[in-house]
Amino acid sequence: MFGVSPAELLTIAIVILVVFGPERLPELSRKAGKALRELKDAADDLRRGIESEAGLTESDLGTVRRAMPPTLDSDSSPQPPRGSAGAESPE
């Protein structure tokens, strides 16, 4: 999960428990949950606003994604533009 092993998660949980104590842990969990919910709601509102302003639906976005050329592959390195100032010219 996100590149974090179960042992690391357990260590983080124990440190949090020691630092904040068992009395404040439920309160902190509720606050973190509310903050994450508000962040998710704000992101959803922003997405819906952009879609409505652009007049796009989810199916339109899928069509656009399929029509776009693929981005750089992970196994290929980016190539400098031809004729750029830093490129050597053949003589």
Answer yes or no: are the C-beta atoms of 33 and 40 closer than 8 Å. no
Q: Which tens digits make up the pLDDT trace of 32-44?
A: 999 999 999 999 9
- Provide the phi-psi class of 2: left if phi over 0, else alpha when psi is between -120 and 50, else beta: left
Residues of the chain with pLDDT under 50: 91
Residue 29 located in a structural domain: yes
Tokens for 40, please give them.
Answer: 């998710």
| Domain around 16 | 7-66
pLDDT at 42: 96
| Alpha carbons 7 and 12: distance in angstroms, whole number | 9
> Which helix (DSSP H) or strand (DSSP E) does residue 21 occupy?
helix 6-54
Residue 2 located in a structural domain: no
Residue 47 located in a structural domain: yes
pLDDT at 72: 54
pTM of the prediction?
0.49
Count of structural domains within the chain: 1
Q: Which tens digits make up the pLDDT trace of 74-84?
A: 555 556 666 65
Residue 34 located in a structural domain: yes
Residue 76 located in a structural domain: no
Residue 11 located in a structural domain: yes
| Alpha carbons 40 and 34: distance in angstroms, whole number | 10
